[in-house]
Amino acid sequence: MRMARRTSTRSSRTHARSVSDDFLEFTSSVHFDHRLWRYDIAGSIAHANALADAGVLTQKELRRTVTGLRRIAKELSEGRLELDPKLEDVHMNVESLLTSLIGGTGAKLHTGRSRNDQVALDMRLISREMILDTVSEILALQDCILDKAKESGDSLLPGYTHLQHAQPVLLSHHLLAHFWRLDRDIERLIECYGRTNISPLGAGALAGTTFDLNRLLVAEMLGMEGVTANSMDAVSDRDFVAELAFDLALIMVHLTSLCEELILWASQEFGFVILPAGLAGGSSMMPQKRNPDIAELVRGKSGRAVGHLIAVLTLLKSLPLAYNRDLQEDKENLFDASDTVEVSLRALTTFLAEIEFDRERMGKAAEVGLMTATDLADFLASKGIPFRKAHSAIRKISIESGGDERRFAELASDAASSLLGYKSELPDGFLSPMAAVERRNVEGGTSAKAVKDQIKKAKRSIQRTRDSIASMRTQCAKVHELVRT
């Protein structure tokens, strides 16, 4: 079958006379909504089946329509067709191509449907796939973090607050903190997926349709979990876009925290990280330099995701019901935010996998800065001294020691005896960093046992995510099964 030459399908929003090229250039969305063609065709195939179920299309017309739509999908996927920007958007292009291919039957496809519910459906379908892809990339980074945590064994490093030495922690514990941030990101995305995966098709322009269309049939064919409850809300709702934009922005915020630490740790002042030669940048002037370019770029790209979130929220502010052309502007923001997050996750996972930690230097850093002073205050509190009183006394000897670890240890026994009213010797090794770590054996703490329990929880969480991915992938595959490219 040979593809017929396209005829011009005129938008119902344009006048019979020709509009200016400037107007078309300003209003056309083909240059970015072309990404929706697969979802638009899948939705059209599902809608055609609903029209046949309602008696609007005969079975023969249904077969011709579905065959034609799949032919268009095949040629688009192979790059043998180009969308015409003069036809305004991807929806009008697909309809025009179909009508050119199968004639008048193609013109029946828009029965009972508006571009308003059509684009709302397409955006939901592509958004759920973006969510699936993003969750998969986060999972890969989580796997990498978990591997690094397991490899680090009993390696110590300073824990920081205000970027000052605070208390010693296991390197595995520190890495797992980033794991759990990403885990919350996954939870939010999966919840967003559930609210996104609802079909608006059948809402029409805003009031529904006079045709007896089985909306649940359409939803089922597309792997969606139900239909929208209100036709006006269905065509105007972009909550799922704003929610996804927020989730993506927060992911980037979390990535910047990990990147900032890697950048600091790679500096000579810290020296905790050895950058992989093949994944570090150099200097055009200074031959000795090795720079954490990937971490810096991910940190920098966060501004795009945050900016897109603000743009989406501003776009939605004060919009009246139901559809408004403003909503055309949601796509570029969401698409770029999604692309940015996916490429950042992929790059950071590759980078982190190749990084080496200088555990010896980390361990030595954990021994300075009087980081077990809190343990001494806790020891006194366990003997009945009010914590605030113990805290004040230990602060005084911290100042008196001048930050010298040995001097602090000498003063510690005297301070304890003075406060307790009897001679008190601290247990051997009480003020060592590893002893301090092992004492923090509460759930979620930094002791070896607590971290081992964390790793078990992390493994279970990863398995739950894999199960969710499998379920989402089955639903998203419905689009590709319908299109069959």
Q: Which residues are known catalytic residues? A: 162, 283
**17-26 CB contacts, 8 Å cutoff, 24+ apart:** 24/85, 24/86, 24/88, 25/85
Name the H helices within 285-328: 293-316
Cβ-contact 91, 115 below 8 angstroms: yes
- How far is the C-alpha of 331 from the C-alpha of 484, rounded, in Å? 25
Question: Distance between CA 125 and CA 40 in Å, rounded?
Answer: 9
Instruction: Please give the torsion angle defined by the CA atoms of residues 422, 423, 429 and 431, in that order, rounded to the nearest 10 degrees.
Output: 50
Element (H, E) at 161: strand 156-161
Q: How many CB atoms lie within 10 A of CB 396?
A: 12
* Selection from 445, 308, 260, 223 nearest residue 316 by Cα: 308
Range list of H helices, 78-114: 90-102, 104-107
CA distance linking residue 352 with residue 280, whole number of Å: 12
Residue 180 φ/ψ, nearest 5 degrees: -75, -30
The sign of the torsion formed by the CA atoms of 267, 272, 277, 281 equals negative
**CB of 312 closer than 8 Å to CB of 330:** yes
Residue 77, number of CB atoms within 10 A of its CB: 13
Distance, CA of 391 to CA of 299 (rounded, Å): 38
